[in-house]
């Protein structure tokens, strides 16, 4: 309650934030400190491998035999940190893993994660035998575990989808190809054609689903179902797309991890767009655990890239940068060039929000360079990042020109507002600033249509409400966005606009001029604001626009006493004493946070 992660209503405590409470992490860190030095080292290295891990992997990272690790392992199990999960070991829970990670300095954790991702590069050549049998002439590479990573599939993950499709088609044309090889080829053709944007992906998917339906373990049918889910999602048919995605994951429990990861990561991306971060992160963790459970791990950069995107959406900028860096740094069989541009885009957007424009531009150029030479996972993120950078670098009119020419499709692309809910409000304000009524109208029509087609999706409804509130200068709706939106950028945008509306009603002498595109926030101010909890920041924003404690209490469903308690903590953290000082700081910070910077305690 004190950290603003839950509220009491009618005698019932409701969770209102998905962050692990600080005191829980501190408890885990304290418990860790009670263990022996050997056990602490064992757990910290294991944490770099993820929620689930293999004892032999910890052994290799520590350069010690598995036998010498039995004592610290027994201690970790007895202390409740680790449990046995099938043929692997696992941390007792996500909060335990987070607590252990919390005890490791960020640079050291990054180094451990990179080492973990490269761990098996040396043994892959020994454990993975590529066989070119007469009955399988196109190279289905079999792992000793029975898993498969075919040549066609590998080419697609390397970003050469066209070549992967050609190889898969030759497999299907061969009368000597085995049944598993043919199934792999069918799935590769669907995946490759989908990434290439070819209609063939849809035709093959519809044929397979019509002829075979969906059975557990049928990889081509599950890939067809996932493609169908993705197409519906992009069209804005969210409930149906989500349902098909869940069906694909549910029926893939016994599928090889190298194929199951596609179904898991596709569903995780949709859930992250809906801000269902906990479930999305579990899917990504499960996908990574499956890959790491293979005798020779492969493609571990894929979970890292998708996790970086999720963390960016959640406002966990420091963590997002680290995961994106891991995805880019992955080498040999762990690397996934297909997703590398997405990781660069995450780094670009994160740098942009942190106010480092030169780094944002550099990462964007790297993403664009890779996109020019290979197929990539389709995302509105690339064009949107360039639009944001253009606003900052060249001004709003230059961004408007970009949106009317090169990215003329972007304002009416529904997937943009799914990936970034703040984009609608941003574009409405941009349209008003440059006097582009057509741009404003197209954005409003798109998000209102999206919300109308998906009445049960609260995030989509808030996105449309926010855009409409900006267009109509509706203070009540903007206040609701501040309280309810799960998107930190949307909250900052709503705060800035609400402050401008209240300032316009104030006496001329009491007004403070605001400038969306010129004013720069003091770095020290941003650093101070970054330490506020989510609830503290929301309350500070509402105070800054003139609401009383009682009015705020009604908005955030807390008592006026609890609001006052949070407010005192805000004053102490920011080193201020009055509401006037708070209002000034909030106006400056929200203006920059909305467009050009985002403070993050993990910077």
For the cut 70, the answer to whether the pLDDT of residue 66 exceeds it is: yes
Question: What are the strands of the beta sheet with 82-85, ordered from one edge?
Answer: 52-53, 88-91, 82-85
Number of H-type helices and E-type strands within the chain? 32, 8
Is 87 in the same domain as 142? no
Indicate the burial class of 121 (C-beta count within 10 angstroms; 0-12, 13-18, 19 or more).
Answer: middle
Tell me what pLDDT residue 136 has.
Answer: 46
The residue to which tokens 């740098």 are assigned: 351
Per DSSP, helices labelled H in 213-256 are: 219-234, 238-250
Nearest to 318 by CA among 99, 526, 88, 106: 106
Residue 61: both structure tokens together: 């990272």
Q: Does 250 or 548 have the greater pLDDT score? A: 250
Is 571 in the same domain as 437? no
Q: Which of 353-367, 503-517, 542-556, 561-575 has the lowest mean pLDDT?
A: 503-517
Tell me what pLDDT residue 140 has.
Answer: 46
What's the whole-number mean pLDDT along residues 134-153?
Answer: 55
For the cut 80, the answer to whether the pLDDT of residue 163 exceeds it is: yes
Tell me what pLDDT residue 525 has.
Answer: 52
pTM value is 0.71
Write the pLDDT tens digit of every residue in 327-377.
Answer: 998 877 889 999 999 999 999 999 988 888 999 999 999 999 989 888 888
Query: What single string gives the DSSP state of each residue in 267-291?
Result: HHHHHHHTT-HHHHHHHHHHHHHHH
Quick check: is 344 in a domain? no
For the cut 70, the answer to whether the pLDDT of residue 426 exceeds it is: yes
Is 467 in the same domain as 498? no
Write the pLDDT tens digit of every residue in 281-317.
Answer: 999 999 999 998 888 889 999 999 999 999 999 888 8
Is 417 in the same domain as 289? no
Tell me what pLDDT residue 35 has.
Answer: 95
Q: Can you give the residue range of the structural domain that contains 403?
A: 380-472
Is 70 in the same domain as 153? no
Is 140 in the same domain as 270? yes
Is 565 in the same domain as 491? yes
Distance CA 108, CA 165 (A): 41
**Residues near 249 by Cβ (< 8 Å), separated by ≥ 6?**
260, 263, 264, 267, 283
Give the residue from 281, 309, 339 where a domain finishes.
339
| Residue 574 phi, psi dihedral angles, 5° rounding | -90, -10
Tell me what pLDDT residue 121 has.
Answer: 42
- Residue 309 near residue 342 (C-beta atoms within 8 A): yes
Packing angle of the helix pair 301-313, 340-353 (nearest 10 deg): 30
Write the pLDDT tens digit of every residue in 390-424.
Answer: 999 999 999 999 999 999 999 999 999 999 999 99
Look at the chain and report how many structural domains it folds into: 4
CATH label of the domain that carries residue 39? 1.10.10
Distance CA 463, CA 447 (A): 7
Tell me what pLDDT residue 122 has.
Answer: 44
Write the pLDDT tens digit of every residue in 76-117.
Answer: 999 999 999 767 898 988 788 888 988 998 788 878 877 876
Quick check: is 354 in a domain? no
Quick check: is 596 in a domain? yes
Write the pLDDT tens digit of every residue in 175-233.
Answer: 999 999 999 999 999 999 999 999 999 999 999 999 988 999 999 999 999 999 999 99
3-class DSSP assignment, residue 408: coil
Give the residue from 472, 504, 529 where a domain finishes.
472
For the ranges 122-126, 332-336, 387-391, the one whose mean pLDDT is highest:
387-391
Tell me what pLDDT residue 570 has.
Answer: 87
Is 395 in the same domain as 334? no
What's the whole-number mean pLDDT along residues 532-559?
Answer: 79
**Percent of the chain that is helix, strand, coil (3-state, to 5):** 70, 5, 25
For the cut 80, the answer to whether the pLDDT of residue 521 exceeds it is: no
3-class DSSP assignment, residue 126: helix
Quick check: is 30 in a domain? yes
State the CB neighbour count (10 A cutoff) for residue 499: 22
Is 575 in the same domain as 547? yes
Is 90 in the same domain as 60? yes
3-class DSSP assignment, residue 90: strand
Quick check: is 52 in a domain? yes
Query: What single string gives the DSSP state of each residue in 281-333?
Result: HHHHHHHHHHHHTSSS---THHHHHHHHHHHHHTT-HHHHHHHHHHHHH--GG
Q: Does 517 or 349 have the greater pLDDT score? A: 349
Quick check: is 210 in a domain? yes
Is 411 in the same domain as 431? yes
Distance CA 200, CA 190 (A): 8
Give the residue from 323, 339, 355 where a domain finishes.
339
User: Looking at the chain, how many residues does it have?
Assistant: 603
Is 466 in the same domain as 480? no
Q: What is the mean pLDDT of the chain?
A: 84
């Amino acid at each position: 309650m004190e950290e603003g992660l839950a509220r009491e209503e009618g005698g019932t405590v409701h969770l209102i934030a998905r962050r692990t409470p600080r005191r829980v992490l501190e408890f885990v860190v304290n418990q860790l400190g009670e263990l022996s030095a050997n056990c602490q080292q064992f757990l910290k290295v294991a944490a770099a491998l993820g929620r689930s891990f293999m004892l032999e992997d910890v052994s290799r990272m520590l350069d010690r035999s598995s036998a010498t690790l039995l004592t610290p392992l027994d201690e970790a199990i007895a202390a409740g940190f680790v449990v046995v999960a099938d043929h692997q070991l696992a941390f007792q829970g996500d909060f335990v893993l987070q607590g252990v990670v919390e005890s490791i300095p960020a640079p050291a954790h990054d180094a451990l994660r990179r080492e973990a991702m490269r761990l098996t590069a040396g043994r892959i050549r020994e454990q993975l035998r590529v066989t070119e049998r007469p009955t399988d002439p196109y190279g289905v590479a079999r792992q000793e575990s029975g898993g498969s990573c075919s040549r066609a599939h590998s080419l697609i993950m390397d970003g050469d989808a066209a070549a992967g499709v050609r190889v898969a088609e030759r497999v299907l044309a061969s009368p000597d190809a085995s049944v598993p090889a043919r199934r792999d080829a069918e799935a590769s053709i669907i995946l490759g054609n989908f990434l290439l944007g070819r209609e063939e992906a849809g035709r093959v998917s519809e044929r397979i689903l019509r002829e075979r339906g969906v059975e557990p373990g049928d990889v081509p049918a599950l890939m067809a179902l996932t493609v169908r889910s993705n197409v519906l999602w992009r069209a804005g048919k969210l409930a149906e797309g989500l349902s098909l995605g869940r069906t694909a994951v549910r029926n893939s429990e016994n599928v090889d991890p190298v194929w199951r990861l596609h179904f898991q990561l596709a569903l995780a991306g949709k859930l992250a767009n809906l801000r269902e971060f906990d479930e999305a992160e579990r899917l990504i963790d499960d996908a990574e655990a499956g890959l790491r459970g293979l005798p020779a791990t492969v493609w571990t950069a894929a979970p890292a890239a998708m996790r970086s995107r999720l963390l960016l959406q959640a406002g966990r900028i420091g963590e997002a940068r680290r995961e994106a860096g891991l995805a880019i740094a992955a080498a040999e069989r762990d690397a996934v060039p297909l997703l590398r541009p997405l990781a660069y885009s995450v780094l670009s957007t994160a740098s942009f929000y942190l106010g480092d424009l030169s780094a944002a531009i550099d990462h964007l150029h790297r993403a664009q360079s890779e996109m020019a030479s290979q197929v990539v996972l389709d995302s509105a993120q690339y064009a949107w990042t360039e639009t944001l950078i253009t606003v900052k670098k060249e001004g709003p009119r230059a961004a408007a020109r970009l949106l009317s020419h090169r990215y003329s499709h972007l304002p009416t692309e529904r997937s943009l507002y799914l990936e970034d809910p703040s984009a609608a409000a941003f574009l409405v304000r941009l349209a008003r600033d440059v006097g582009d009524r057509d741009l404003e109208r197209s954005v409003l029509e798109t998000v209102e249509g999206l919300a109308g087609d998906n009445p049960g999706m609260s995030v989509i409804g808030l996105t449309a409400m926010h855009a409409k509130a900006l267009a109509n200068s509706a203070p009540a709706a903007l206040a609701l966005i501040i309280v309810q939106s799960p998107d930190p950028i949307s909250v900052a945008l709503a705060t800035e606009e609400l402050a401008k509306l209240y300032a316009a009603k104030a006496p001329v002498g009491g007004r403070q001029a605001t400038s969306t595109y010129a004013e720069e926030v003091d770095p020290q101010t941003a650093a101070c604001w970054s330490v506020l909890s989510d609830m503290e920041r929301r309350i500070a924003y509402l105070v800054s626009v003139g609401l009383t404690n009682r009015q705020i209490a009604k908005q955030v469903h807390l008592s006026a006493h609890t609001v006052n308690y949070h407010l005192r903590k805000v004053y102490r953290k920011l080193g201020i004493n009055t509401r006037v000082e708070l209002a000034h700081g909030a106006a400056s910070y929200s203006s920059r946070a909305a467009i050009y910077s985002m403070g993050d305690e993990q910077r």
